[in-house]
Every structure is written in C-alpha cells, then in structure tokens.
Structure 1
Amino acid sequence: MHYTLRQIEVFLATAFHENVSQAADSLAMSQSAASSALKELEQRFGIQLFDRVGKRLQLNDFGKSLRPKAESLLSQAVEFENLLAMRGEIGHINVGATLTIGNYLAVPIMAEFMNRYPGSRVDLTVENTRSITQRVLNFELDIGLVEGELQNDNLDIIHWRDDELSLFCAPDHPLAGRPTLNDDDLAEAEWIIREAGSGTRQGFEHAMYGLMSGLNVRLELQHTEAIKRAVEAGLGIGCLSRITLQEAFRRGSLLPLYAPQRDWMRRFYFILHKQKYRTAGIRNWLTLCQEEGADHFSTYGPDQ
C-alpha cells in the first residue's frame, strides 16, 4: 500500500471541515501532522485533491470523485478492526431522523439496538427532511429516516413504513365535533402547520392539493410540540402525524378532525448514499427498524 488509513482519515476530515486545522482537531492530531499527511498523499500520487477558496479548502472534481470510495474504504477498515477486537457485529452508526420519527420512533429503536448489541453506539441527529437528506449526501450520516418524498440519483430510497396525517383542533374550537369537514371548511380555517422543507409539510401540501394557494396559514412552526400547544391555545387547527397526537387524543386536550375526501396517507423512508458501504451495524439497524415497523397500524386508529 502506498497510502495509509490515517491519510484517508485526514482527507475525509478536511473534505468535511474544509479546513486542515479543524480536521486535525477532530482527529486529535496537530495541524502540522494533518497537513503533512495530506501533502504526502497528494505528492505520492502526483495529484491535487483540494482547491483553496479564500480560507477554505474545497474538494476539486477529482477529490469529489474519490470521496465516496474513501468513505467506503474507511468504513470497511473500522468494521474489520471491530471484528479483530472480537466485537463481531457491533458498531458505531450515525443516524439522522426527521422530527416526527426522531422524537416518537427512533429512541425506542436505539434502546433496543443497544440492548441487542452490547457495546454498540448510535448517534442520533434530529432535523427536518431537507437537512437530513443533505447530511446523508455529504456522508455526515450513515443512514437517514425521513418523512418526505425524495428523488435523488445519489441516494438509495427505501420504503420503511406507512404513516397517516391527522387534522386536529382544540375541544372548544368551532369545528370540534363535526363528523367531517368539506373543502370549504378547510379553506376557511386558520392553520398552524410545519415549516417548508419538512416531510410533514410536504405531506400536508400533497393532501391539500388545489387548496394551498388560498389557505389561511396563521403560523408556521418547526416543532411538533409547539404546533400542538398553539392549537390547544385556540390559534387554529393543525395537521401532524397521528403518531404524535395519540396521547393528546387520549387526554382529550386535542380532538381529531376528519376530511375523508383528502388523502392523508404517506410513507416513511430509509435513505442511504448509494456509494456508502453498508457495515454490519447499518444492516442490523435496517433489520431492527423493519421489525419494529411491522403491523404498526394495529396500535392506533381513527376511533382513538
């Protein structure tokens, strides 16, 4: 071998941070050692991997083409080290999840994963669909669990489980108790909804096709709990995953609303970079998520 894994680590860290000093800090190295490792890699093969843009080191086209292969190589090396250390299938994985999934589904799966594979570690990042997608594309996350529909040639997008959006209001709202709402009711209501870029917002816009342009949106909020509190306060009606509303429906602090003429079903997805090496940890995570997602609709329904 005419390169070292340490050089590959420095290359990837520099690509991520776009700064050698920050890359060195992330690897617990001195800046001079990191600079030397990167320089030796480039000089050994007579290549240049970065262009200097102001104070940043930005991957050039050749560096970009090598990055996925370097990521895969390093992932396999880490897995091999784990096997040598007699840790078998155990590994460290970086998981990204959208707000609904991260706050209501991912944590129990993490707990089961770590119980099933003692010594494993899962780092969870919770952001909206747009942010999680970008992090997966940038190899910052091993896998994403998202709510939004995506099309990207660099991603494997795998159906995980179905989900249902639910309309809801406060118990004293004028629409409370109506058996169903028609499109005029929906168009005249004041709404508290998720922000653009979220999977829930995308699903809402899909369900409300033809009505969105004239909709009275009073508030756009990033967090599910903030939307629930605003609706409880009587500021409008909302639309969130039914998963997030079950406890409030049971307590009676919020009431479901029904508009059966609209399609409120959507899907949750796994997303992985196509060139990301799937370690045993990633494969085990996928398997566990699929086990946990089986027959999930039996736990709730519109009558609850």
Structure 2
Amino acid sequence: MKFTLKQLRVFLAVAHHQNVSRAAREMAMSQSAVSGALKELESQFDIQLFDRVGKRLQINELGRILRSKSEALVAQALELEQDFFQHQAGGEIKVGATLTIGNYLCVGLMDRFMASFPESRVKLDVANTETIAREILDFKIDIGMIEGELQHPDLLIQPWRQDELVCFCSPEHPLASVGELSLERLLGLKWILREPGSGTRQTFDRALYEHLHALDVLLELQHTEAIKRAVESGLGVSCLSRIALVEAFARGSLVALKTPDLNLQRMLFIVLHRHKYRSAGIQRWLKICEA
C-alpha cells in the first residue's frame, strides 16, 4: 500500500480548511510536516489534488472524487481503533438536526440510543436545513434530521415521519375566538416567521406561494421559542410545527387558528451523505428512528 492513513487525514484536513496552517493546527503538526505529507501523497501517484492559488489551496475535481472515499476509509479505521481500545463497537456519532427536531424530538432519540448502547455518545448540532445540508456534504456531521426538502446528487434523503404546521395567535388576539380563517383574512395579519432557509419557512412559503407579496412580515426569527414569546405578547401571528406547540396549546398561552385554505402538511426527513461509511453507531441511530 503506497499511502498511509496519516496522509489521508492530512489530505482531508486540508480539504476541509482549504488552508495548510489551519489543517496543521487541527492535526497538531507543523505546517512543513502537513505540506510534506500532502506533497508525498500526490507525488506517489503523480496526481494533483488541489489547485494552488497564492497561499490558498482549492480542492480540484479529482480531489473531490477521492475525498468521499477517503472520508469513508478513515472513518472505518477510527471505528476499528475504537474497537481495539474498547473491545466493542461504539464511539461518537454527530447528528445535525433542524430546530424543531433538535429541540423537541432528538432528546428522546438520544435517550433511547444511549440507554440501549451506553458505550456510545451523541453530539447534536442544531441549525436550519440549508446549514445541515452543507455540513453533511462537508462530512462535518454523520446524520441529518431535517424539516425542509433537499435535492443533491451526493445526499441520500429518506422520509422519516409526518408533521404539520399550525397557525396560531395569543388568547387576547381578536381572532382567537374565530372558528376558521379565510385566506383573505390571513393576508391582512402581521406575521412573525422563521427565517428563510429553514424547513418551516419553506413549507409556509409553499402554502402561500401565490400570495407572498401581500404578506405583512413583521419579524423573521431563528428560534421557535422567541417566535412563541413574540406571539404571546401580541405582536402578531405565526405558523410553526404542531410538535413545538403542544404544551403551549395545552396550557392556553397560545391558540391554534384553523386555516382550511392552506396545505401545511409536510414530511420530516433523514439525510445521509451517499458516500458516508455507516458505522455501527450510525446504523443503531437509524434503527431507533425507524422504530
């Protein structure tokens, strides 16, 4: 074998940072050692993995092709190393979840995962759909749990569970006692919405696609709890996942608005990189989600 795992790790670190000095800090190596390892890997096979632009390295087409396979091989090697140390499968998995899933569903999944497999750990990152997709494509996380729809040739996207959005207002709002709201009446309201790029906003915008120009959007916020507090204070109305509103509806601090003219149904998805090696931890997480 002409290459070493260390050379592959150097290649992946440089591909991630597009910079030798930052890759060196990540690997606790000198810049010259990182440059030497990368140069040796390329010269062994008479290839070039990066385009050199001044001091910056830009991964080229060949580098992108080999990167995903290298990621998979290094991941398998790390899992094997953990097995040698622990004498059992385990280790850490990195899950990226969108806001609603991360705040209201992932805690239960993590509890079941770690109860069944106490030797394993879960690192959870919460962000919007677009960010989760970028992190999966960049191999920063292992599994994505998202609310929005995606299309990318390197992503495997599988349906997970049904969800629906619900429009709501404060109990003191004039519409709190109204049975059903017409589309015309909805367009006359002040809205407090999730930010563009979130799965929740994607579903809402699709439901009102032909009327977005007529919406009065007062605030765009990144956090569901902030939106709920703003609506409770009477600033306007909003639309979020029913999952995030169950407790507020039960205690009466928020009131659901019936909107028969809107299709607010949606699917939640699990996302994986097509070339990601599925470690024992990843497979365990997927089985828990399926259950």
Q: Distance in 1 between matches of 2:5 and 2:62?
A: 19
Q: Distance in 1 between matches of 2:230 and 2:130?
A: 24
Structure 1 runs of 4+ off > 6 angstroms? none
Alignment pair present for 1:2 and 2:2: yes
Residue in 1 that maps onto 2:52 = 52
Residue in 1 that maps onto 2:173 = 173
Measured against aligned partners, the alpha-carbon deviations of 1:214-240 in whole angstroms (never above 9, x if no partner) come to 111111111111111111111110000
Measured against aligned partners, the alpha-carbon deviations of 1:55-97 in whole angstroms (never above 9, x if no partner) come to 3211111111110110111111122223333443313211111
Residue in 2 that maps onto 1:92 = 92
Q: Distance in 1 between matches of 2:205 and 2:40?
A: 52
> Unpaired runs of 5+ in structure 1?
292-304
Query: How many pairs are equivalent?
Result: 291
Q: Distance in 2 between matches of 1:14 and 1:209?
A: 42
* Aligned-pair CA distance for 1:151: 1.5
Counterpart secondary structure, 1:277? coil
Measured against aligned partners, the alpha-carbon deviations of 1:181-207 in whole angstroms (never above 9, x if no partner) come to 111111111111111100000011122
Residue in 1 that maps onto 2:113 = 113
Q: Amino acid of the residue matched to residue 60 of structure 2?
A: N
Q: Distance in 1 between matches of 2:26 and 2:115?
A: 29
Q: Distance in 2 between matches of 1:254 and 1:145?
A: 27
* Aligned-pair CA distance for 1:108: 2.4
Q: Distance in 2 between matches of 1:225 and 1:47?
A: 51
Matches within 5 A, 1:222-233: 222-233=222-233
Counterpart secondary structure, 2:105? helix
TM-score, with structure 1 as normaliser: 0.92
Q: Amino acid of the residue matched to residue 31 of structure 1?
A: Q
Q: Distance in 1 between matches of 2:127 and 2:35?
A: 33
Q: Distance in 2 between matches of 1:180 and 1:224?
A: 24
- Fraction of identical pairs, as percent: 56
Counterpart secondary structure, 2:193? strand
Residue in 1 that maps onto 2:194 = 194
Residue in 1 that maps onto 2:212 = 212
Q: Amino acid of the residue matched to residue 130 of structure 2?
A: R
> Unpaired runs of 5+ in structure 2?
none
Residue in 1 that maps onto 2:290 = 290
Measured against aligned partners, the alpha-carbon deviations of 1:94-130 in whole angstroms (never above 9, x if no partner) come to 1111111111111221232122212212211111001
Residue in 2 that maps onto 1:138 = 138
Matches within 5 A, 1:72-91: 72-91=72-91
TM-score, with structure 2 as normaliser: 0.96
* Aligned-pair CA distance for 1:280: 1.3
